[in-house]
Amino acid sequence: MRESCLGCVRKHIGQTMVLLNESLLGHPEHLWLAIGHMAEAEIEAIKQHKNLAIHIRQLRKELEIYQKIPYSKFIDLIKEVTLIGEKQKEKHKKSLK
């Protein structure tokens, strides 16, 4: 099994934001495509980043219930994924020494 791809998690979150915006601009069916991308991000993260996957799931469920979430929550999530990636890289660099 391959490792979790944090870049893929970020891409799915970004695509969620695009589709959610489209759902608010006259394409309501895009909401479910956005929710699908959140589920994909969650699946991608669960392999190695359980807490991140739980956070993504919480936002996905919130999106399902309220059908919109402030963009700031998605930006914060992308920042969280980026921070995890940076810590992972640092840990890897230290293991090579």
Q: 1 lies in a domain? A: no
Q: By residue range, what is the domain housing residue 32?
A: 6-96
Contact 46, 53 (CB under 8 A): yes
**Per-residue DSSP letter, 48:** T
| pLDDT above 80 (res 97) | no
- pLDDT of res. 1: 62
The arithmetic mean of pLDDT across residues 36-65, rounded, is 96
Q: What is the Cα–Cα distance from 63 to 57, expressed in whole angstroms?
A: 10
Q: What is the Cα–Cα distance from 52 to 33, expressed in whole angstroms?
A: 21
- pLDDT of res. 3: 80
| pLDDT above 80 (res 60) | yes
Model pLDDT for residues 3-45, shown as the tens digit of each residue = 889 999 999 999 999 999 999 999 999 999 999 999 999 999 9
- Residue 36 sits at the vertex; the CA angle it makes with 30 and 41, to the nearest 5 degrees, is 130
Q: 39 lies in a domain? A: yes
Q: 25 lies in a domain? A: yes
Domain count across the chain: 1
Model pLDDT for residues 68-96, shown as the tens digit of each residue = 889 999 999 999 999 999 999 898 888 88
